[in-house]
Amino acid sequence: MSVTIKMSTEADLERVRRLAELDSKPAPHGDVLVAEVNGRLVAAMGVDGRVVADPFERAASVVELLRAHVDAEPRRTPRRRRWLTRLVAAG
């Protein structure tokens, strides 16, 4: 079994929407990590923690991988705010 975790792109939006529909949950918004098993989308997780997964797959372990990945990522300040912080600190 090959699991790929990546940030979603514009091309993934429809696949994530269909996955959410299949899971009967709202689709995650904003930055979304997707997990593919052997090239097939089985789970997606927004950085806000909202998760959708294929109910016909054993996706619990894949969802745990997504959670671990999100927890391991440092929280990023939006670029604009970092610039503003630097400007305020310099002034």
Q: What is the residue-level pLDDT of the chain in tens, covering all 91 positions?
A: 788 899 999 989 999 999 999 999 999 988 899 999 988 999 999 877 899 999 998 888 888 888 888 777 655 544 444 444 444 444 4
Q: Which stretch of DSSP H or E encloses residue 32?
A: strand 32-37
Is the pTM for the entire model greater than 0.75? no
User: Hey, where are the domains in the chain?
Assistant: 3-90
CATH number 3.40.630.30 is the correct assignment for the domain at 3-90: yes
* 44-to-26, 55, 78, 86 alpha-carbon distances in Å: 11, 12, 22, 34
pLDDT of residue 75: 56
